[in-house]
A and B are shown apart, each in its own frame.
Chain A
């Protein structure tokens, strides 16, 4: 199965700056990669999906890149706000399709300081 590594330490960013989170995987190249946001005591919420043939995907202040050579995805939040503080999870399909469930990283805790 896939092994996923995300920054295990909390990431502290000053409000207004760009936050960059990293997701590295070690086994097969997935057909796509997803990012989720999770707030304390709540279920994850889907943010973005990027396919293997896409280099970059944007949604409002969010940007995701996918480098299949490096086996890495970067997740950027521009003009960060305190409300962006949460844990961000990277997820990949187990079998290449996703019907067998997603493998999640442990997540990176992002703190945006006013």
Chain B
């Protein structure tokens, strides 16, 4: 089945530690995104990538890093510089507008990160 997979579903981190969230898609999508969702808040864009080996900062990139070494994979690292990392993290992918106009985003099931 085609889809987008995030792991783990739940993650606990000690203060001062870096953690990496996994995101894999087999939809052959060029574009991939990371969003953060806090209670009562909308989704906020952290990073996005339109092509392998290239990515751009979103609205709240500070304290996060990403890589795009393969088309299928877009891992997110939450570094110790992120002051308030406890949140629900969502990865998404889509075709680029040039490939198919006005395309929708496909989301993973999310990773809930808690700092302990």
- Is B33 close to A, CB under 8 A? yes
* Partner-contacting stretch, out of A13-21, A41-49, A66-74, A77-85: A41-49
Q: How far apart are the CA atoms of A97 and B31 in the complex, in Å? A: 12
**Is A98 a contact of B102 with CB atoms below 8 Å?**
yes
Q: Which residues of B contact A94 (CB under 8 A)?
A: 45
Q: How many B residues are at the interface, by size bracket?
A: 20 to 34
Q: Which residues of A contact B108 (CB under 8 A)?
A: 43
- Is A60 close to B, CB under 8 A? no
- Is B40 close to A, CB under 8 A? yes
Q: How far apart are the CA atoms of A32 and B105 in the complex, in Å? A: 13
Q: How far apart are the CA atoms of A32 and B42 in the complex, in Å? A: 19
Q: Which residues of A contact B112 (CB under 8 A)?
A: 41
B-contact 0/1 string along A52-64, CB 8 Å cutoff: 0000000000000
- Which residue on chain A has the smallest CB distance to residue B43? A104
Within 8 Å by CB of B94, from A31, A45, A98, A104, lies A98
Expressed in whole angstroms, the minimum distance between the Cβ of B20 and any Cβ of chain A is 19
* Given contact pairs A41-B110, A44-B90, A49-B102, A99 touches B40 in the complex (Cβ within 8 A): no
Subset of 5 A-B contacts with CB under 8 Å:
A93-B97, A98-B94, A100-B48, A101-B45, A101-B58
Which residues on A are within 8 Å of B, measured CB to CB? Answer: 1, 4, 31-32, 34, 41-46, 49, 51, 89, 91, 93-94, 97-107
